[in-house]
Chain A
Amino acid sequence: MILTIGLFVAGVHAAQSNLQDPSELGLKFGKLKFDPPQPLRYKLDSGATVYLLSDNALPLVTIEVFVRAGSLYEPEGKEGLPYMVGTLMRSGGSRNFPEDAMDEQLGFVAAGLSSRVERTRGIVSLDVMKKDLDLGFRALADLIRNPLFPQDKIDILKNRMLETYRRRNDDVNSVASSLLSNKVYGGHPIAKRHQGYPDTIAKITREDLAAFHKKYFRPDNMIIGVSGNITKEEFDGFYKKHFGDWKVAGPALVFGNVEPVKPPEKGIYFVPMNVPQCSVRVGHLGLRHGDEINVTAQILSQILGGGFNSRIVTGIRSKAGLAYVSGCWMSTQVVPGIFVGYVGTKPEGSTEVINIILREMRRIQQNPVSVDELQSARSGRENSFVFKFSSAQSMVSNAVNDEFYGYPRDQLKRYLQEVRSVTRERILQVAKKTLHPENSVIVIVGPQKTYGILKKEFPETQLVQLKDIK
Chain B
Amino acid sequence: MKHRAVAVVVLAIFLSVMFVGVSFGDVELNVKQFELKNGLKLLVVPRHFSPTVAVQVHYRVGGADDPPGLSGTAHFLEHMLFKGTKTIGSKDIRKELRLIKKRDEAYREILQERARGNEADKEKIAKLSAIFDDYLEQAKKLGHHDAIWRIYPRNGAVGINGSTSSFQTSYYCELPKNRLELWARVESDRMQNATLRHFHSERGVILEERLRGFTITGRYLYDLTKKYSFLLHPFGRPNVGYESDIKAITPDSMMKFYKTYYVPNNAVLVVVGDVDPQAVFAMVKKYFGKIPRGKTPPRTNVVEPPQNEQRRITVRLPSSPLVKIIYRVPDITHEDIPAIDAFADIIASGGTSRLYMKMVKNKHAANSVIAWSSFNPMDNMFIFHASPQYPHTCDEMEKMMFEEIAEIQKNGVNDHELQRVKNVYYAGFIRRLESNSSLAHTLGFYELFTGEWEFMFKYKEAYQKITREDVQRVARKYFSTKNYTVIVVQKDETAKIKGKSK
Contact = CB atoms under 8 A, between A and B. Distances in A.
Interface residues of B, number: 90
A172 to B, nearest CB: 6
A384 B176 contact: yes
Interface string A150-186: 0000001001100100110011100000000000000
Nearest to A6: B178
A166 B318 CA distance: 12
Given A32-B178, A160-B389, A309 B496 contact: no
Residue among B90, B186, B211, B493 with most chain A CB within 10 A: B211
Contacts of B147: 21
Given A166-B320, A382-B156, A383-B176, A390 B431 contact: no
B50 A163 contact: no
A171 B427 contact: no
A390 B52 contact: yes
A167 B319 contact: yes
Given A58-B433, A108-B423, A309-B146, A25 B182 contact: yes
Contacts of A383: 154-156, 176, 179
Interface in A1-18: 5, 9, 18
B297 interface: no
A27 B25 contact: no
A376 to B, nearest CB: 5
A274 interface: yes
B363 to A, nearest CB: 11
A36 B157 CA distance: 19
B178 to A, nearest CB: 5
Interface string B184-222: 011000000000001011111110110110111100000
A29 interface: yes
A31 B91 contact: no
A392 B390 CA distance: 44
Interface in B127-160: 140, 144-147, 149-151, 153-158
B352 A107 contact: yes
B271 to A, nearest CB: 16
B150 A309 contact: yes
B133 to A, nearest CB: 14
A321 B217 contact: no
Interface in A39-67: 55, 57-60
Interface stretch (A259-267, A311-319, A360-368): A311-319
Contacts of B20: 109, 131-132
A337 B266 CA distance: 47
Interface string A102-127: 01100111110000000000000000
B497 interface: yes
Given A25-B182, A274-B318, A324-B205, A110 B427 contact: yes
B185 to A, nearest CB: 6
Contact of B158 (A30, A325, A384): A384
27 contacts: A5-B156, A9-B154, A19-B144, A25-B87, A25-B186, A29-B155, A32-B51, A60-B434, A100-B357, A108-B419, A108-B420, A108-B423, A109-B20, A110-B428, A129-B430, A167-B319, A275-B497, A277-B212, A318-B198, A325-B212, A345-B208, A346-B211, A376-B153, A376-B154, A384-B158, A391-B434, A391-B435
